[in-house]
Every structure is written in C-alpha cells, then in structure tokens.
C-alpha cells in the first residue's frame, strides 16, 4: 500500500501552524515568513524556486535540507485544503485565482484541492488541480488513483492535516518546531488528544534553531 505523507509542516511553540488574517499578500497571515525561515536557505528550496544565482549560492545542505529533500521523493499526487490554494473563503468570486504559484506550479503531479465549492479542473504547466468536495478517506482514494502507484503528499494547511489525522489516515509526518510564540492563528493539534499513540516519533535538533520531528505510523 502506498503512503500518505506530510512534509515541512512548521509549528510554533504554542502549536499554531499558520497565523491570523491570511491575505493574498500574506499567505501565513501575521506569522509572515517566520514559520518557514528555516526552509528558505536550503538547497531544496533554492533549487525548486529557481533562485540559484542569488547570494546564497546553491543553498545549504545541512540537517534542514536533508529533511526538506525528502518532500518530493516518490510522490505521485498531492492533497491540499482550499486554504493552501488561496486565501479566499466561500463561493469562488470568479475563477481568475489560479493559486500562488504562477504558470508552472512546483507540484508537477495531480493535486486534489478540497473545497465545498467545486470548479472545473485547472491545468497549469505540468500540474492539474482537481477541485472536489470530499471527505478525507474519499479524497485519499481519488489521490491514490491519480498517483499511479506512488505516494500521496498531504500538503496542508493545518486544518486539512488535522482532519486526516483525526481520520487516522496519515502514515508519515514531518513537523518542524519553530521556537516562536505566535499567539494566534490555526492550531494544529485541536481535538487530537492522544493522537501520538498512532505514531513512533523521532526528534532531531538542527543547529539553525528548529527541531525536526518525524512521525511514523505504528503498524
């Protein structure tokens, strides 16, 4: 059976995985770039975002990069919540919003976008977005079909990850504990008391200040 995997999910000391007041200009709300600061200098990010010519050269290759580099390995499809696709709520005002990522989104696989407001499939470069109103288990069935025998990545945001954790569907999860107190935003762990019993958990502290945690489902 292929696996459902979460990668690079950053969480503050107080358990928030995104900030408050998300907008087109601020995808993480008042958290700004603070939750992903560890990620930006990595070779994985620098390469994927085409910033190789910038001051940081080809990016760092330490602990942070080693963990980040597993993100795309053997992934055949992604599931994301509508909140990751865009900052809007409710019916689509029009279909002009085509995600944050421009004409060539970095996914390059089918992507299932969970939304109560379905719209036609959207093809952008090598990525196809499927907008569907599905429960977690059904979304996973669809993504598995689309993934062609490879794993499925659960891309977030926190509300979506929480619903798949609640349904017991997550096989692997990579969290990044960032030593900041956000104070407000979306709590990852709400309603998940005891969820750690489903997983073996390993932690490693990075010299950059964050702590990586790998959750692996107990069989």
Q: Contact between 167 and a second copy (CB under 8 A)?
A: no
Q: Sign (positive/negative) of CA torsion 73, 81, 162, 146? A: negative
Residue 200 corresponds to which tokens in the numbers above? Answer: 């073996």
CA distance 27 to 19: 9
Q: Contact between 211 and a second copy (CB under 8 A)?
A: yes
CB 157, min distance to a second copy, A: 17
Alpha carbon of 49 to those of 40, 61, 124, 127, 160: distances in Å? 9, 16, 16, 16, 25
Per DSSP, the residues of 42-90 read BHHHHHHTT-TTSTTTT-B-SHHHHHHTTTTTTEEEEEEEHHHH-S--S
Q: Contact between 58 and a second copy (CB under 8 A)?
A: no
Of residues 79 through 108, those in contact with a second copy by CB under 8 A are none
Total residues at the site for a second copy (CB under 8 A)? Answer: 30
Contacting residue, 108, 180, 216, 217, with a second copy by CB under 8 A: 180
Q: Contact between 120 and a second copy (CB under 8 A)?
A: no
Residue 91 DSSP one-character state: S
Of residues 181 through 210, those in contact with a second copy by CB under 8 A are 181-184, 187-196, 201-205, 209-210
Q: Contact between 13 and a second copy (CB under 8 A)?
A: yes
Residue closer to a second copy (CB basis): 3 or 214: 214
| Partners of 195 in the β-ladder | none
CB 197, min distance to a second copy, A: 9
Contacting residue, 3, 15, 106, 163, with a second copy by CB under 8 A: 15
Which residues of the chain form contacts with a second copy (CB under 8 A)? Answer: 11, 13-15, 177, 179-184, 187-196, 201-205, 209-211, 213
């Amino acid at each position: 059976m292929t696996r459902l995997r979460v990668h690079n999910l950053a969480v503050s000391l107080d358990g928030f995985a995104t900030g408050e007041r998300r907008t087109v200009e601020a995808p993480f709300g008042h958290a700004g770039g603070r939750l992903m600061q560890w990620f930006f200098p990595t070779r994985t990010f620098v390469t994927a975002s085409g910033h190789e010519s910038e001051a940081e050269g080809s990016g760092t290759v330490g602990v942070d990069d080693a963990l980040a580099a597993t993100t795309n390995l053997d992934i055949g499809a992604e599931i994301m919540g509508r909140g990751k696709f865009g900052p809007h709520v409710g019916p689509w005002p029009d279909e002009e919003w085509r995600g944050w990522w421009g004409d060539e989104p970095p996914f390059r696989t089918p992507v299932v976008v969970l939304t109560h407001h379905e719209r036609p499939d959207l093809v952008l470069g090598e990525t196809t977005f499927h907008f569907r109103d599905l429960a977690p288990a059904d979304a996973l069935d669809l993504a598995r079909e689309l993934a062609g025998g490879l794993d499925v990545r659960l891309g977030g945001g926190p509300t979506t990850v929480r619903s798949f954790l609640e349904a017991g569907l997550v096989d692997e999860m990579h969290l990044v504990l960032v030593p900041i107190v956000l104070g407000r935003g979306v709590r990852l762990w709400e309603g998940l008391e005891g969820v750690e019993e489903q997983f073996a958990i390993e932690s490693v502290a990075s010299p950059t200040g964050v702590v990586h945690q790998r959750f692996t489902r107990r069989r």
